[in-house]
Chains A and B, each alone.
Chain A
Amino acid sequence: MELLPQALVDGIMLGAIYIIIAIGFSLVYGVMHVIDFAVGEWIMLGGFAGFYLNEWTHVEPMLLLPAVFAVFAVVGYLFQPLIHRVLSGHRGNPLLMGLVFTFGLSLMFRGLAQTFFGFYSHSVPSRFSNGSFFLQEGGFSMTVSSVRLAGLLYALLITGILHYLLKHTDFGLGVRALAQNRDAAGLMGVNNKRTSAYVYGIYVGISAMTGVLIGMILSLSAKMGPDYTIFAFFVVVLAGMGYLAGVPAAAFLLGIIQSFFLIYLDPGYTLLAVFAILYTILLVSPRGLFGKGV
């Protein structure tokens, strides 16, 4: 039992990172109506970008985050028209095609990553990795590693920025309008194509940055993508598809599950637990923990 507070704190700090992944994932679903199977691969590619940039420049990876964001935001922005083309146009069920398309992309990315980055696990060396704070209170004690704390702060910062962007700018108004009703938003002068491209760019950039952070806190491998895709989906389903306010609770839950399995049980069982919870939620309350999804 003495490890309990440690597991909780670790879980919350890990969960903070999943919040950002899930918000991006949720936004893309809301605006483009596509479940992006490649989310885990963007995370993985971003992580490796940070890893190689760090190896090349020896700059603290925390400071490299904006550069990774910038590069991947441009990549996402340039990529989006392709997805848009699949989703529109005169083909059958566009939603299905969007799924198949991003699934194909994720296979390609994973294969390419295995070719170029190899099969081994890496971690991004950060100055924060060694430092930690030791807290003692009564019978309980815990270590808070500074890299995880930095991750938490980063997550809060990004969530704050996204909140401001969505609620207090014209761009955010357009995004929310698009998510609510695409036709009406178009009539009101929201440019669907351009807004979607920006949203996709922001989402890819954020996912990539988060990948670097995951590389600092946990580890990177070319095969890690699918796990994070499932995690993102898990958080979004638990929160309720499209209900952003439910994301933090779901993300913290995932983080805590992961750290509990890491500390108390075999981490190999994490996926089974995640699936069991996912199944139960879909069975009992498909609109999420709070019943507010769409």
Chain B
Amino acid sequence: MKDRRLLGYLFVFAATLLVPAVVHDTFLLRVFTEAVMWIGLAVTFDVLAGYTGYLNFGHSAFFGIGAYTTAILMVRAGWHFAPAAVLGGAAAGIGALIAGFPTLRLRGAYFAIATWALARAIQQLVLIMDVTGGPDGMRLPAFLSPRFFYYVMLGLVGITFFAYWFLLERAPFGLKLKAVREDEQGAKALGLNPTKLKMQAFILSAVPTGIIGGVFAYWVTFIDPASTLGDLVSDQALVMVVFGGMGTLVGPVVGAILIFAFKTAFWAYLSDYEVLYIIILGAVIAGSVVFLPNGVLGVLPQRGRRNGPSPEEKGPGAVLPETEGGNSHG
């Protein structure tokens, strides 16, 4: 059953490989590339949020670190794109190591706000530094090949997705993460090291995010603090994951496609109402929490499981971690 699922994933991936053969319109290919990018950002967000229960409200920080590292290496040091992007991913990973070290030992609420504050602090830092061009941003050498970027993005996101699938759904690592998510004390008693596992998940989430940021920088050829480090990056990743279904690999992909389609349509017709888009994002986040606790995937009829979702499908932390007093209510 599960391996049939892998076949399905591979089939979808193979189908996306053929997109440039069918789509010749440059603009449309751009839209597809961006859709793939958002799938990547949503999936990387969910590795941490869904599998460990730690929300990274500063996802944009790692995307931006990757983008800026790549841009600085290419523009100021004259590096080639590929090693620069890889180093961008490494920089994001180091950022995760530094940010996660004090916060991942603590409860999820600390982590959520600390990463959020980190993203703002980094944005501030980029604005005042010289090497990043400050508020003016950076212009990268242009390489105008929509096909090249589509395949790079697709390859990157595809590798990330299948690596995650193997690590989280097939290897013991995924089970360990879920054990920590469900009951940290219990996991500790079984000899697991929760902080180390959470840190590994955080780095696993940050490195691909950084590389995606690097590819994004080279692709759009111009980056500034707002486009790479702005709140919108984190907000959109969050809404895609929450709307699609947290704690699964397919949920964020579906969420990313739906929200991105909406975004594209919205910007095409209502680009003057940027603020309205933010309001809608907020409403979708809050509404999903209230009405779709398992995302849109949760409301689809599930084959062979008519008696409600299994604990695994219930989303992150079906068993409460770290609440004193449990979830009693008067």
Q: Do A and B bind each other?
A: yes
- A114 partner, pick from B117, B275, B330, beta carbons under 8 A: B275
| Interface residues in B296-330 (C-beta closer than 8 Å to A) | 314-318, 320-330
Q: In the complex, which residues of chain B have a beta carbon less than 8 angstroms from the beta carbon of A183?
A: 325-326, 328
The A interface, classified by DSSP as helix, strand, loop or mixed, is helix
Question: Which of A61-69, A82-90, A135-143 lies on the face that meets chain B?
Answer: A82-90
Residue A52, interface by CB 8 Å: no
Contact flags (1/0) for B152-169 with A, using CB distance below 8 Å?
Answer: 000000000000000000
Residue A121, interface by CB 8 Å: no
Q: Which residue of the partner chain A has the closest CB to B285?
A: A104
Number of interface residues of A (CB under 8 A): 63
Number of interface residues of B (CB under 8 A): 64
Interface contact A82-B283, CB-CB below 8 Å: no
Residue B141, interface by CB 8 Å: no
Q: Which residue of the partner chain A has the closest CB to B241?
A: A100
Interface contact A97-B285, CB-CB below 8 Å: no
Contact flags (1/0) for A252-283 with B, using CB distance below 8 Å?
Answer: 00000000000000101101101110110011
Interface contact B318-A92, CB-CB below 8 Å: yes
Interface contact B329-A286, CB-CB below 8 Å: no
Give the complex CA separation of A106 and B116 in angstroms.
13
Question: Which of A2-10, A186-194, A211-219 lies on the face that meets chain B?
Answer: A186-194
- B109 partner, pick from A99, A101, A107, beta carbons under 8 A: A99
From residue B247, how far is it (CB to closest CB) to chain A in Å? 7
- B53 partner, pick from A85, A96, A283, beta carbons under 8 A: A96
Residue B276, interface by CB 8 Å: yes
Q: In the complex, which residues of chain A have a beta carbon less than 8 angstroms from the beta carbon of B283?
A: 104, 108
Q: Which residue of the partner chain B has the closest CB to A102?
A: B286
Q: Which residue of the partner chain A has the closest CB to B105?
A: A286
Q: In the complex, which residues of chain B have a beta carbon less than 8 angstroms from the beta carbon of A230?
A: 113, 116-117, 120
A186/B330 contact (C-beta < 8 A), A269-B128, A271-B124 known: yes
Q: In the complex, which residues of chain A have a beta carbon less than 8 angstroms from the beta carbon of B329?
A: 84, 87-88, 192-193
- B108 partner, pick from A96, A181, A266, beta carbons under 8 A: A96
Q: In the complex, which residues of chain B have a beta carbon less than 8 angstroms from the beta carbon of A186?
A: 328, 330
Residue A105, interface by CB 8 Å: yes
Residue B222, interface by CB 8 Å: no
From residue B263, how far is it (CB to closest CB) to chain A in Å? 15
Give the complex CA separation of A93 and B325 in angstroms.
14
Q: In the complex, which residues of chain B have a beta carbon less than 8 angstroms from the beta carbon of A190?
A: 330
Residue B186, interface by CB 8 Å: no
Q: In the complex, which residues of chain B have a beta carbon less than 8 angstroms from the beta carbon of A86?
A: 289-290
A278/B117 contact (C-beta < 8 A), A35-B109, A111-B278 known: yes
Residue A95, interface by CB 8 Å: yes
Residue A22, interface by CB 8 Å: no
- A94 partner, pick from B105, B116, B247, B320, beta carbons under 8 A: B320
Q: In the complex, which residues of chain B have a beta carbon less than 8 angstroms from the beta carbon of A279?
A: 102, 114
Give the complex CA separation of A176 and B275 in angstroms.
40
A101/B102 contact (C-beta < 8 A), A183-B328, A237-B110 known: no
From residue A208, how far is it (CB to closest CB) to chain B in Å? 19
Interface contact A275-B109, CB-CB below 8 Å: no
Q: In the complex, which residues of chain A have a beta carbon less than 8 angstroms from the beta carbon of B238?
A: 100, 103
Contact flags (1/0) for A12-34 with B, using CB distance below 8 Å?
Answer: 00000000000000000100010
Contact flags (1/0) for B88-110 with A, using CB distance below 8 Å?
Answer: 00000000000001110111111
Residue A115, interface by CB 8 Å: yes
Residue B216, interface by CB 8 Å: no
Give the complex CA separation of A274 and B118 in angstroms.
10
Residue B127, interface by CB 8 Å: yes
Q: In the complex, which residues of chain A have a beta carbon less than 8 angstroms from the beta carbon of B279?
A: 107-108, 111-112, 115
Interface contact B242-A93, CB-CB below 8 Å: no
Output the residue of B113, B128, B316 with the most chain A CB within 10 A: B113
Output the residue of A92, A107, A278 with the most chain B CB within 10 A: A92
Output the residue of A29, A86, A100, A279 with the most chain B CB within 10 A: A100
Q: Which 5 A-B pairs have the closest CB atoms?
A: A93-B317, A104-B285, A107-B282, A92-B315, A108-B282
8 contacts between A and B (CB under 8 A): A104-B284, A107-B235, A111-B279, A191-B330, A192-B330, A194-B330, A278-B117, A286-B102
